[in-house]
Amino acid sequence: MEKKLKEKGVVYKDEIAWELLSDSILNLKFSKIFIIVDENTKQYCLSYLFKKHQFETTPEIITISVGEAHKNIETCLKVWETLSEKGADRKSLIINLGGGVVTDLGGFVASTFMRGISFINIPTSLLAMVDASVGGKNGVDLGHKKNQIGIINLPEMVILDTEFLKTLPQEHIISGLAEMLKHGLIYNKEYWERVKNADYSKKIEFEKLIWDSVEIKKGIVTKDPLEKNLRKTLNYGHTLGHAIESYFLESSDKKSLLHGEAVAVGLILATYISTETFSFPKDTLKDVSQSILKYFPKQYFTENDIAAIINLLAFDKKNRNGKVLFVLLEDIGSHKYNCEVNNKLIYSAFEYYKNL
């Protein structure tokens, strides 16, 4: 029986997702299909896509370089030029096969090429599955400043297949856990307990948590698609997390951090700031800190590092009228957004982190 997509942006899983991909490509009659991959997903994931779907005509493969350092306009220009040279038109389809860099950049490329062509996201990393897969945010970095250029535009569909996780090194699996831990903190205590205590070696338990994280984010995004209020809570830990990630990326004497590694630090810092601002329970702060450090090794910051990171906060997209605004918690599942935080308190948060 022929299946139809419900609406744009819906995340589908398991075999139903692949059946819908086949039906949508057949029914929507795209003039040409392009698949954007990075060097890793070309090597490890592309063959699985071809196994799950037999294309009637051979798609054009566009390969970009791996990593956040290449999530920029320069890469977009190369992809746009390739699309043009290979005869893409407004009836073409882009399939983004990769982690968050590929889906963010590929979605932005598709949304802007010829004022917008269709695209489908197939996230292959845990981080992309539980975060980038939902909500239609597409974009690129400006220099080392995270996600400064972008657009909200939904893909035709998102395919979630956890088989892709088998291709990931362990540190990339761990990186994705940061977003799941964040979902626990902003959603409720029950989910927080499940995520922090899960046995991730058990496939069924792991997959259930992944899907629950997708549903948590979906519930928030559905209520506030344009990030006017509630969706801001998804930035918990990201104000400082993004600044830390950017700083490590641009510093020649630092090893770049994965997104989740930077967000993990940001979650601890934001939770400390929450205890000082809204009396978030101190025993819960201890639990949050210990639970995160169980998965993520401590990072080390000098005074100069901290000063530079604070300076980068000026470029955060949530800022208003020159004021840096944080998402904070009164308790697990009870959040506040648009919270002003002074630099003295940020320094204190780093001091707390250093002493853990």
The answer to whether residues 139 and 150 touch, using CB atoms and an 8 Å cutoff, is yes
According to the model, what pLDDT value does residue 318 have?
80
Q: How many domains does the chain have?
A: 2
pLDDT tens digits for 150-191? 999 999 999 999 999 999 999 999 999 999 999 999 999 999
Gyration radius of the chain's alpha carbons: 20
Tell me, yes or no, whether 158 and 181 share the same domain: no
Distances (CA, A) of 174 to 178, 235, 262, 293, 349: 7, 19, 12, 11, 23
Domain boundary among 109, 136, 167: 167
Note whether residue 22 is domain-resident. yes
Is the pLDDT confidence value at 2 over 90? no
> Which has more pLDDT, 182 or 25?
182
pLDDT confidence of residue 3: 56
- Tens digits of per-residue pLDDT, 302-342? 999 999 999 999 988 887 877 889 999 999 999 999 999 99
Structural domain of 131: 11-167
- Could you tell me if residue 3 is inside a domain? no
Q: Domain end: 115, 142, 167, which one?
A: 167
Please report which confidence band the pLDDT of residue 1 belongs to, taking 50, 70 and 90 as the band edges. Answer: very low
- The closest of 110, 62, 60, 61 to 90, measured between CA atoms, is 110
pLDDT at 125 over 80: yes
Residue range 32-83, pLDDT digits in tens: 999 999 999 999 999 999 999 999 889 999 999 999 999 999 999 999 999 9
Task: Examine the pLDDT at 139 and tell me if it is beyond 60.
Answer: yes
Q: Which residue has the higher pLDDT, 145 or 79?
A: 79
Q: Is residue 156 located within the same domain as residue 24?
A: yes
The pLDDT of residue 350 is: 98
Q: Does the pLDDT of residue 5 top 80, yes or no?
A: no
Given a contact cutoff of 8 angstroms between Cβ atoms, the answer to whether 32 and 93 are in contact is: yes
- Tell me the average pLDDT across 275-289: 97
**3-class secondary structure, 103:** helix
* Residues 297 and 331 placed together within one structural domain of the fold: yes
Beta strands in the chain (DSSP E): 11-13, 33-38, 60-64, 93-98, 118-123, 137-142, 145-152, 158-160, 325-331, 334-340
Name the average pLDDT for the chain: 95
- What was the pLDDT predicted at 28? 80
Q: How far apart (Å, rounded) are the C-alpha atoms in residues 286 and 257?
A: 24
Same domain, 142 and 192: no
Q: Is the pLDDT of residue 4 over 80?
A: no
Domain end: 133, 167, 201, which one? 167
CATH classification of the domain holding 162 = 3.40.50.1970
Model confidence at 25, in pLDDT bands (50, 70, 90)? Answer: confident
Give the mean pLDDT of 243-264.
Answer: 95
CA atoms in the 13 A half-sphere facing the CB of 83: 29
223 assigned to some structural domain:
yes
199 and 333 together in one domain: yes
Tens of pLDDT, residue by residue over 177-235, are: 999 999 999 999 999 999 999 998 899 999 999 999 999 999 999 999 999 999 999 99
Identify the bridge partners of residue 12 per DSSP, sorted by sequence position: 159
pLDDT > 70: percent of the chain: 98
What is the value of pTM for the model shown? 0.94
Tell me, yes or no, whether 2 lies in a domain.
no
